[in-house]
Amino acid sequence: MAPGDGIQIPSRLPLLLSHEGVLLPGSTVRFSVDSPRNMHLVSQRLLKGTSLKSTIIGVIPNTRDPEHDTDDLPTLHKFWTSNRGSGPLHLVSQMSHLLVQTKELESSVISHSHFLCFCLCRIGTAGIAVQVVGSNWPKPHYTLLITGLCRFSVSSLLKGRPFVLAEVEQLDQLEHYTTPVTERATAKDGDLGELSNKFYQAAVQLLGMLDMSVPVVAKFRRLLDSLPRETLPDVVASMIRTSNKEKLQVLDALTLEERFKKALPMLTRQIEGLKLLQKTRKSSPENEKRVTNICIYPFPFNHVFLPGRQLNLDEEDEDGDDTAVLEKKIHGAKMPDAAFKVCLKELKRLKKMPQSMPEFALTRNYLDLMVELPWSKSTKDCLDIQAARTLLDNDHYAMDKLKRRVLEYLAVRQLKTSLKGPILCFVGPPGVGKTSVGRSIARTLGREFHRIALGGVCDQSDIRGHRRTYVGSMPGRIINGLKTVAVNNPVFLLDEVDKLGKSLQGDPAAALLEVLDPEQNHSFTDHYLNVAFDLSQVLFIATANTTASIPPALLDRMEVLQVQGYTQEEKVEIAHRHLIPNQLEQHGLTPQQLHIPQDTTQDIISSYTREAGVRSLERKFGAICRAVAVKVAEGHRVTMTDASTAAGPTQQSGENPGSLSCLCLNGMFGLVGGRGSNPLSHFSAYLHSHSQ
Ligand SMILES: Nc1ncnc2c1ncn2[C@@H]1O[C@H](COP(=O)(O)OP(=O)(O)OP(=O)(O)O)[C@@H](O)[C@H]1O
């Protein structure tokens, strides 16, 4: 047949480098693409092209696309030269049969050197991209569905960037495939005819052992009768359980006879495996069903028999191991029955899914979350009211009313552990210690603490999660928080409930109603999980700056505790008991290196802060500590012998006597009070003038 009579693939093909699957002519394979060259191929060729020709690409198996654009291309998968029973002469004749159709070879004699060159050629499969699906989650990638057309060999690589482009030589002639498989081979077909008959019989035998009510089996049966017999080895090898290495051997078999010879033992092995499976099933009558599991990927025994070989569990692929580990984790997660059933169902689906399917990752992530959730893991409360009182007093100065109510609440919990509600809500100006009291409560109870910042949240799926049908779906913050703390009875601080927003995506406050209602939250259902999780053990505390913007229904579920701002005296006490020691510790300073007298603190409060809480005061101390830390780190040392000279430098340096300034006594820094602008400017100006 003259070239051009049948389907011709383009002489230049963009190449998809794949290290996962092997595409055989006549089969359809899903490829996940996320490496740079392959991504460019999809975006610049497949998605931009408008003609049918532009959807034809070459798939080179067993070759990994480098991680980075700049990396060199790996050596392409080599032609499978070992185990060729037919010998080089036979090969030369076969190759010449293929090559004689190309114009340049018509006139030339195939020399030995030419033969060698083709022995090293790289074999791939030209295919049509029938579907392209893109996703940005978990990272940007495409999933391609490619149907194999024919084999080709790479003559030369034309370019490696942005994607690989090569000059190729078509090996299978598609127009040859015309004889339906049912037409029995005649005597003149010789060995090949006999082989193809044997192969066809074996395929029919395999189908006879499978359940015809399964659509894919029925389809395979129909296909078997209508397919040209030349395509059978490729199609069958891609459908039965074969390793990538075996598929490569079939791909590399350039002659039909060789292809049949390679694929037939795989088919026979599959039949033997099925026979054994049926035998074992017969021994337990309730399992005496026909095998419904067509031998496509999730075939139950992937280590079927080679002559003289036993079942070998060690050879189970990584994925098989993975699901076994997952199954073990599901059994060990001590989840309620409903969740357990859902997990088993999803696991069953996962086992049947090819890894390249986008849904594989989704199901896997879902199961991972399910086994990580603390369904029945909790910490033991260690509540001692005396100790709680001391701890609260140690952590917080003043706030007497709030501390009293918290102690009452804890005392009732000690007497009745299954206390339902109330949900405490601390309301007060910023920086008065609402959040830190929440943290102290968790410490007194010996529970894990988790803060959920609700400020600006305006999507109800932030609380309740997304349904799993959405791309990039995630569980909500409550379930995420439980996963983080890994126990089911933490203290959850719902910070800034008054700043919840509302949008077209729903009302998060409404979703919180269920979470905070002790009557309902034992069966809280996150959309992502789609099974109930018991939140009744979680201790919820809310904080807000005002009750005015809290939705009434939500406010109704909480007991509001007002936290007032502090007086000047209280702030001085808080500063010296908590803020200054904290800041010194955070900046790696010791009380010997920085001393701030009470009247200086008072000056800082009255001159440099204007707030109900103490947050900005804490920041001022932080700034002073940083400035002192620089001097200490520089080894700054100014010796002043007498504290009475302390006031001196301020006057000597000509500064306003009312302003703040610093004393440095034998390496110890101190601040003396005053009024004026920024304390730090005086402080550093003074240090500077005295360090000369
Ligand atoms: N009475 C107090 N005793 C000791 N430290 C306090 C006291 N009040 C506030 N603080 C300290 O002030 C800082 C700010 O407190 P916190 O973050 O708890 O404020 P808040 O009321 O939650 O503010 P916001 O409403 O802005 O969230 C913390 O470092 C905290 O330790």
Q: Indicate which CATH number applies to the domain containing 23.
A: 2.30.130.40
Whether 182 is in a domain gets the answer no
Residues 389 and 513 in one domain: yes
- Segments in 232-384 forming alpha helices (H): 232-239, 244-252, 256-283, 318-332, 337-352, 358-372
Q: For a substitution probing ligand 1, which of 401, 563, 614, 619 has the most ligand atoms within 8 Å of its CB?
A: 614
Q: For a substitution probing ligand 1, which of 432, 440, 585, 618 has the most ligand atoms within 8 Å of its CB?
A: 432
In angstroms, the CA 57 to CA 53 distance is 9
Residues 503 and 575 in one domain: no
Residues 279 and 326 in one domain: no
Q: What is the CATH number of the domain that holds 424?
A: 3.40.50.300
Q: In the prediction, which pLDDT does 369 show? A: 92
In angstroms, the CA 327 to CA 329 distance is 5
Residues 61 and 192 in one domain: no
Residue 365: domain span: 317-372
Average pLDDT for 605-610: 88
Residues 143 and 223 in one domain: no
Q: For a substitution probing ligand 1, which of 615, 619, 621 has the most ligand atoms within 8 Å of its CB?
A: 615
Three-class DSSP category at 268: helix
**Per-residue tokens: 260:** 């049949």
Three-class DSSP category at 655: coil
Q: In the prediction, which pLDDT does 293 show? A: 43
Q: Is the pLDDT of residue 435 over 50?
A: yes
Measuring from atom 30 of ligand 1, which residue has the nearest CA? 433
- Map tokens 């408008």 to a residue: 50
What is each CA distance from 291 to 160, 199, 295, 355, 668, in whole angstroms? 47, 21, 10, 23, 85
Residues 533 and 588 in one domain: no
Q: Is the pLDDT of residue 118 over 60?
A: no
Q: What is the CATH number of the domain that holds 631?
A: 1.10.8.60
Q: In the prediction, which pLDDT does 176 show? A: 52
Residue that terminates a domain, selected from 562, 593, 623: 562
Q: Give distance in angstroms: CA of 434 to centre of ligand 1.
A: 6
Q: Is the pLDDT of residue 87 over 70?
A: no
Residues 268 and 334 in one domain: no
Whether 541 is in a domain gets the answer yes
Close Cβ partners of 315 (under 8 Å, ≥ 6 residues apart): 303
Measuring from atom 25 of ligand 1, which residue has the nearest CA? 430
Measuring from atom 18 of ligand 1, which residue has the nearest CA? 433
Write the pLDDT tens digit of every residue in 656-684. Answer: 333 333 444 334 444 444 444 454 544 44
Q: How many contiguous H segments (helices) and E segments (strands) does the chain have?
A: 25, 16
Residues 170 and 221 in one domain: no
Look at 46-50, 281-285, 361-365, 437-441 and tell me which has the smallest mean pLDDT. Answer: 281-285
Write the pLDDT tens digit of every residue in 396-408. Answer: 988 888 888 888 8
Q: Give distance in angstroms: CA of 6 to centre of ligand 1.
A: 80
Atom of ligand 1 nearest to the CA of 429: 25
Measuring from atom 15 of ligand 1, which residue has the nearest CA? 433
Residue that terminates a domain, selected from 520, 537, 562: 562
Q: Give distance in angstroms: CA of 630 to centre of ligand 1.
A: 27
Whether 503 is in a domain gets the answer yes
Average pLDDT for 570-588: 92
Measuring from atom 27 of ligand 1, which residue has the nearest CA? 430
Whether 312 is in a domain gets the answer no
Measuring from atom 3 of ligand 1, which residue has the nearest CA? 396
Q: Which residues pair with 512 in a beta bridge?
A: none
Q: Give distance in angstroms: CA of 446 to centre of ligand 1.
A: 21
Q: Give distance in angstroms: CA of 583 to centre of ligand 1.
A: 14
Share of the chain above pLDDT 90, in %: 21
Q: Which of 52-61, 354-363, 463-472, 550-559 has the highest mean pLDDT?
A: 550-559
| pLDDT bucket at 273, cuts 50 / 70 / 90 | confident
Q: Is the pLDDT of residue 83 over 90?
A: no
The chain-wide mean pLDDT, for the chain, equals 76
Residue that terminates a domain, selected from 546, 562, 578: 562
Q: Give distance in angstroms: CA of 432 to centre of ligand 1.
A: 5
Q: Which of 165-174, 296-305, 605-614 has the highest mean pLDDT?
A: 605-614
In angstroms, the CA 329 to CA 323 distance is 10
Share of the chain above pLDDT 70, in %: 74
Whether 298 is in a domain gets the answer no
Q: In the prediction, which pLDDT does 366 show? A: 92
Whether 92 is in a domain gets the answer no
Instruction: Residue 180: count other Cβ atoms within 10 Å of its Cβ.
Output: 11
Ligand 1 binding pocket (C-beta < 6 A) is: 396-399, 430-436, 543, 545, 574, 578, 613-615, 618
- Domains in the chain, number: 5
Q: Give distance in angstroms: CA of 602 to centre of ligand 1.
A: 19
- Round to the nearest angstrom and report the end-to-end CA distance of the chain: 98
Residues 533 and 595 in one domain: no
Whether 604 is in a domain gets the answer yes
Atom of ligand 1 nearest to the CA of 563: 21
CB 254 within 8 A of CB 241: no
Average pLDDT for 274-292: 62
Average pLDDT for 293-318: 36
Look at 44-48, 219-223, 594-598 and tell me which has the smallest mean pLDDT. Answer: 219-223
Residues 51 and 153 in one domain: yes
Atom of ligand 1 nearest to the CA of 570: 1
Average pLDDT for 552-580: 91
Three-class DSSP category at 587: coil
Write the pLDDT tens digit of every residue in 506-546. Answer: 788 888 888 888 888 888 999 999 999 999 888 899 999 99
Average pLDDT for 177-183: 51
Instruction: Residue 215: count other Cβ atoms within 10 Å of its Cβ.
Output: 9
Q: In the prediction, which pLDDT does 682 show? A: 46
Atom of ligand 1 nearest to the CA of 436: 18
Whether 424 is in a domain gets the answer yes
The tally of CA atoms less than 13 A away on the side-chain side of residue 38 is 25
In angstroms, the CA 562 to CA 546 distance is 9
Measuring from atom 10 of ligand 1, which residue has the nearest CA? 433
| pLDDT bucket at 372, cuts 50 / 70 / 90 | very high
Residues 340 and 424 in one domain: no
Residues 359 and 396 in one domain: no
Q: In the prediction, which pLDDT does 485 show? A: 93
Q: In the prediction, which pLDDT does 116 show? A: 35
In angstroms, the CA 260 to CA 186 distance is 17
Q: Is the pLDDT of residue 4 over 60?
A: no
Measuring from atom 26 of ligand 1, which residue has the nearest CA? 430
